[in-house]
Amino acid sequence: MAAWEENVRKVVPYTPGEQPNCPGIVKLNTNENPYPPAPGVLRALHEVDGDALRRYPDPTVGKLVKALADYHGLSSAQVFAGVGSDDVLAMSFLTFFNGTKPILFPDITYSFYDVWAGLYGIPYECQPLDAGFYIRTEDYLKDCGGIVIPNPNAPTGMEKDLAGLEEMIAGNPGVIVIIDEAYIDFGGQSVLPLLPKYENLLIVRTFSKSRSLAGMRIGYALGNETLIRYLNDVKYSFNSYTLSAAAIAAGVAAIRDDAYFKETLQKVINTRERMGQELCRLGFSCLDSKSNFIFATHPRYPAKELFESLKQDGIYVRYFQKPRIDQYLRISVGTDAEVDRLIQALEKLVL
């Protein structure tokens, strides 16, 4: 090891799902939306001109923040925007989890939470899901440095009850409770109505799933004005201009077309229900999903083998070699045609 390596921060990074770029594959491994964004998004992108490119973008991301505030019935001062919800969550960890007590999140959850904690040296304690993969409210009613709950949870796709979430938020007034609503639009119940009641609540959302904009990197947070100001202070201490002129334009256009948004959501939800039924028919057990993916296990076939066989067949799903979930596959909801191909491939493997 060279002398200069001594001072280097050494971390175990998050491993994103594979992003293969071969024609003809069925990509159901990173929970992308199978449908393109609203037509207005491409138009907005095409209207970005040389002047918008040569100049710095608006550091306050004003137009997008305003569009989101209006959409959610909040003020602009209650909205924070970032480069995908990962950027927003990372900045939130850095901003709000600055104490010495451990923060709490589920043992089976988005695998970036412990990575951010590691990066910033935040102590944490994972709370085990129960035998049915459910988040137990009582595990989060104790002295801690903060709480992060994904709702619906990933990779299970399961929703946590609103009453339980409110109990956690009300029971921990001294710390920030982050509800990561990356998948909330696919049928879950948001904590948004609780926002006026609890000033320690931060809601994080993304344009990557329900708004078909994973490629543009847009995420946001909703909270009270003080909390959002702290978050912006950290953002302005990191990078004044995080969202590009193109991202701002695309984001605003996506918010504006609510009819397209709802239509796309309904298509994904319908396909999810059909995909669940088909998986059941093939003998899989599926957790109750309120997201755009299904977490499924087969009683007779090892998940890892199915994962690899599907990949051979050009179908990418997600497999996690982790305790308790290593017999499960996380399968994103694709188009109907993609789901047909998946089911046909699985029929050959398990029937």
On the CB side of 50, CA atoms within 13 Å amount to 0
Indicate the residue among 115 and 148 with the shorter CB distance to a copy of itself.
Answer: 115
Q: Which is nearer to a copy of itself, 18 or 326 (CB)?
A: 18
CB 318 within 8 A of CB 30: yes
Task: Candidates 16-24, 157-165, 186-194, 334-342: pick the segment binding a copy of itself (CB under 8 A).
Answer: 16-24
Residues 296 to 335 in contact with a copy of itself, rule: CB under 8 A = none
CA distance 191 to 181: 9
β-bridge partners, 124? 103
Cα distance between residue 128 and residue 108, in whole Å = 7
Q: For the segment 100-129, give every residue that binds a copy of itself (CB under 8 A).
A: 115-116, 118-119
Q: Is 27 in the site for a copy of itself (CB under 8 A)?
A: yes
Contact positions with a copy of itself (CB under 8 A) in 34-63 = 34-37, 41-42, 45-46, 48-59
State yes or no: residue 10 binds a copy of itself (CB under 8 A): yes
Which CB atom, from 95 or from 156, has the smaller least distance to a copy of itself? 95
Q: What is the CA radius of gyration of the chain?
A: 21
Which residues, at least 6 apart from 242, have a Cβ–Cβ distance to it below 8 Å?
A: 61, 81, 82, 83, 87, 235
Restricted to residues 164-223, the positions that interact with a copy of itself (CB under 8 A) are 173-176, 199-200, 208, 212-217
Burial letters 93-106, b for 16+ CB under 10 A, else e: bbbbbeeebbbbbb
Q: Between residue 151 and residue 170, which ones bind a copy of itself under the rule CB under 8 A?
A: none
Among 61, 78, 81, 86, which residue sits at the site for a copy of itself (rule: CB under 8 A)?
Answer: 86
By CB under 8 A, is residue 16 in contact with a copy of itself?
A: yes
**Does the footprint of a copy of itself cover residue 99 (CB under 8 A)?**
yes
In the complex, the smallest distance separating the C-beta of residue 184 from a copy of itself, rounded to whole angstroms, is 18
Contact region for a copy of itself (CB under 8 A) — 65-73, 90-98, 127-135, 268-276? 90-98
How far apart, in Å, do the first and last CA atoms of the chain sit?
53
Structure token digits, residue 264? 């796309």
